[in-house]
Amino acid sequence: MGSGAGRDWRERAAQGKPVGRPGAKRRRRPSRGASPPCSPAGGARAQGRGGLGSRSPAGRGEGRTPAHRSVGARGQSGGGKDRQSDTLPGTSVAMAEHAGRRCCLGWDFSTQQVKVVAVDAELNVFYEDSVHFDRDLLEFGTQGGVHVHEDGLTVTSPVLMWVQALDIILEKMKASGFDFSQVLALSGAGQQHGSVYWKSGASQVLASLSPDLLLHEQLQACFSISDCPVWMDSSTTAQCRQLEATVGGAQALSCLTGSRAYERFTGNQIAKLYQQNPEAYSHTERISLVSSFAASLFLGSHSPIDYSDGSGMNLLRIQDKVWSQACLGACAPHLEEKLGLPVPSCSVVGAISSYFVQRYGFPPGCKVVAFTGDNPASLAGMRLEEGDIAVSLGTSDTLFLWLQEPTPTLEGHIFCNPVDPQHYMALLCFKNGSLMREKIRDELASSSWSEFSKALQSTEMGNSGNLGFYFDVMEITPEIIGRHRFSAENHEVSAFPWDVEIRALIEGQFMAKKIHAEGLGYRVMPKTKILATGGASHNRDILQVLADVFGTPVYVTDTANSACVGSAYRAFHGLAAGTDVPFSEVVKIAPNPRLAAAPTPGASQVYEALLQRYAMLEQRILTQTRGLRSEFHRPSLTDSTWRRGLGQQGTSSLL
């Protein structure tokens, strides 16, 4: 698809003209073995490669954007040739900025807040706002946006809190003078693995909302359970084992659904509800993910689950993108009808509800593009291309990969790609991220990042063969706890010199990422680049080690709120999908990332042998600590260090 076609859809969008090809209103069931069309109501499939990226929570010290303001061109208040005023919405200047500006909205229903951005057809972010649950909705009594129950394992969030947050943010936008009539389409993201249970009769209420009342006033009786399980819940171990046994084991389930059974995954949460509260389950007419729940509010009807977020449920067959009948049957009866059929992630699922037209002035033709998970939306927001890697260096470290042919294993996750239905995305999470780096900094570098960097600068690549494993809390990938240090002769030692210790920590963290990414089928390609985000991405010396270990350049980006921005990009893609415009064409005028570190000459030769040793030593530690793994297998939320990390992490849905 050439640039002319890209200009054509963008110009038509800016003029408010239809850009997609009208499709049949009736959605067909996807055929097995083929990826269904990616278009409004089943039109032509978007061709070509999409862009994607990653988001994960920033580490401490990460700068934050004011929660309610109009922002400059490209979403950065400090730059851009078409920089807008930083005047708060509500002033005449801000209102002038919002007037007559055709745009798409991107939403994010994350763990701790609801956020929105408005992005115009030139991909400038010109408005953003947020509502923070703990601060702005005190009546719900959440900490970090959740309720942790007495068992330390069960973690839930009040569903009406999410609804009320949407009410607040829309009323704030209205009061600021935001011109909803210019919104062409909207899409959004939700914290992955959370689930919502609509009570029988909810669909009638959604379809007949009164514009004179707020949403939360009308939906109070619409949910079978008022507090919904979210990604931090780890109370379904028994259901996980049952599901794996039904399909032939953990590896069989991973090959089928992209992941072995995880306590937070929705299928296991549904099984627990059915077993422990069968009455609530029987009174449930629809089960949504947080993403499809949020889309349902805008649609005025139950929105389907999209492929990408749906592949984080232990229920979707990732190869042919239909529900697994074996998995459904293992969880609860009549589950398929309660879930509805999944749809491609770029589907236009309908027009906005008349409630929003009448109360806020949205145009009746405003399209709702399928909402997805926050991690897939962040991939879209950061626009990685095939072969690229996104590394979030936050409280925990998260690795996002674009895969053509995935290799599901017992670790990590394979999801359907949110912008290209032919490909996949992989995700690995490492719990001992910034918290571990900060501990070593405080212990050995006088709590100074400057001193920490000096240690990296003064030690050589490969650290003279010294390798270290630093897991103060039970790691996810791999399942190891403790600190383990090895000399160049593979002898375990009790301590390293302070500067050697710091390099061993950083090199070990990045070698683990590369080894386990390759275990999922990823291979570094000549054109591969790494996009780094999160608090540690501001430290150039850390990024230099990352570039050297992977043997590929590292870039950083100024994109904030990547799930929100990615959702707005996906809304534009939904509008354009009917014209066969690939996602990469839609976002090609977005700001490019900046080069932060290039591999040092000779780095590949240094780390080739070290990577093999690191993998061998990791297996040795795993063998030696099987008893500990059994004792600590998946940490309880009663672990104060881990809970402290979760509270800071907030918006990530991954453990």
pLDDT tens by residue, 448-480: 999 999 999 999 999 999 999 999 988 888 889
The confidence score (pLDDT) of residue 303 equals 98
More confident residue, 119 or 630: 119
Q: Give residue 599's Cα distance to chain centre.
A: 28
pLDDT of 431: 86
Decide if 278 contacts 272 (C-beta within 8 A): no
d(CA 321, CA 336): 14
Do 593 and 556 meet the contact criterion of CB atoms below 8 Å apart?
yes
State the angle between helix axes of 449-458 and 498-519 in degrees (0 to 180), rounded to the nearest 10: 80
pLDDT at 9: 56
User: For residue 578, what are the CA distances in angstroms to 200, 570, 628?
Assistant: 35, 13, 54
Nearest residue to 130 via CA among 172, 96, 101, 85? 172
CA pair distance 437, 428, nearest whole angstrom? 18
Q: Give tens-digit pLDDT for 274-294.
A: 999 999 999 999 999 999 999
Contact 520, 403 (CB under 8 A): yes
Q: Is the pLDDT of residue 316 over 70?
A: yes
d(CA 589, CA 595): 18
Which helix (H) or strand (E) segment holds residue 202: the answer is helix 202-207
For helices 434-444 and 498-519, what crossing angle results, to 10°? 170
Write down the residue that tokens 């949407």 correspond to.
Answer: 166
The encoded tokens of residue 459 equal: 């030690």
* Of the candidate ranges 37-46, 390-399, 413-422, the one whose mean pLDDT is the lowest: 37-46
Half-sphere CA count of 471, side-chain side, radius 13 A: 24
Distances (CA, A) of 474 to 352, 426, 602, 633, 644: 45, 22, 34, 8, 14
- pLDDT value, residue 403: 86
d(CA 51, CA 30): 24
Range among 72-81, 388-397, 415-424, 459-468 rated most confident: 459-468
* Beta pairing, strands 367-369 & 183-190: parallel
Query: For residue 86, is pLDDT > 70?
Result: no
Q: Which residue has the tokens 């920490």?
A: 452
Q: How far apart are CA 176 and CA 473, in angstroms?
A: 46
Q: Does the pLDDT value for residue 151 go beyond 50?
A: yes
pLDDT for 394:
82
pLDDT at 295 over 70: yes
User: Counting beta carbons within 10 angstroms of the beta carbon of residue 98, is it exposed (0 to 12), middle (13 to 18) or buried (19 or more)?
Assistant: buried
Please tell me the predicted confidence (pLDDT) of residue 404: 84
What pLDDT does residue 625 have? 77
Residue 614 · residue 515 · CB < 8 Å: yes
What pLDDT, on a 0 to 100 scale, did the predictor assign at position 642? 34
Q: How much is the pTM?
A: 0.80
What's the Cα-to-Cα distance from 79 to each of 57, 71, 82, 86, 119, rounded to whole Å? 24, 10, 8, 11, 16
Where do runs of H (alpha helix) occur along 324-391?
A: 325-331, 335-339, 354-360, 374-382
Arithmetic mean of pLDDT over the chain:
84
Least confident among 33-42, 239-248, 396-405, 542-551:
33-42
Cα three-residue angle 192-523-530, rounded to 5 degrees = 65
- Measured distance CA(200)–CA(209) in Å, rounded: 16
For the chain, the farthest-separated pair of C-alpha atoms sits apart, in whole angstroms, at 74
Q: What's the pLDDT band for 14 if we cut at 50, 70, 90?
A: low
- Residue 229 has φ and ψ, to the nearest 5°, of -65, 140
Q: How far apart are the first and last CA of the chain?
A: 39
Residue 531: pLDDT over 90: yes
Q: 410 and 478 in contact (C-beta within 8 Å)?
A: no
Q: What angle do CA 4, 381, 320 make, to 5 degrees?
A: 85
Span 98-118, pLDDT tens digits: 456 899 999 999 999 999 999
Q: What is the pLDDT of residue 534?
A: 82
CB distance 466 to 488 below 8 Å: yes
Which of these ranges, 140-149, 173-182, 300-309, 407-416, has the smallest mean pLDDT? 407-416
Q: Tokens 């027009």, residue?
A: 351
Which are the contacts of 133, defined by CB distance < 8 A and separation ≥ 6? 112, 113, 140, 142, 145, 157, 161, 165
* Residue 220 CB neighbours (<10 A): 12
pLDDT of 49 above 50: no
CB 336 within 8 A of CB 323: yes
> ω before 37 within 30° of 0 (cis)?
no
At 561, the pLDDT band (50, 70, 90 cuts) reads confident
Cβ(345)–Cβ(569) under 8 Å? Answer: no
* For residue 427, pLDDT beyond 70: yes
Taking CA atoms, 90 is separated from 36, 96, 98, in Å, by 44, 10, 10
* DSSP H or E run through 16: none
Q: Which two tokens stand for residue 120?
A: 């115009």
Going by pLDDT thresholds of 50, 70 and 90, the confidence category of residue 339 is: very high
pLDDT band at 355; cut points 50, 70, 90:
very high
Phi-psi region of 144 (alpha: psi -120 to 50; beta: other; left: phi over 0): left
Task: Name the least confident of 316-320, 510-514, 533-537.
Answer: 533-537
- Residue 386: the pLDDT is 84
Q: What's the length of the chain? A: 655
Work out the percent of the chain whose per-residue pLDDT is above 90.
68
CB atoms within 10 A of CB 575: 27
Residue 629 has pLDDT above 70, yes or no: no
* CA distances in angstroms from 181 to 22, 352, 365, 575, listed in the order given: 22, 12, 10, 17
Find the radius of gyration of the CA atoms of the chain. 24
pLDDT at 54 > cutoff 60 = no
Residue 522 has pLDDT above 90, yes or no: no
Q: What is the pLDDT of residue 396?
A: 83
Buried b (16+ CB within 10 A) or exposed e, 405-441: ebebbebbbbbbbbbbbebbbbbbbbbbbbbbbbebb
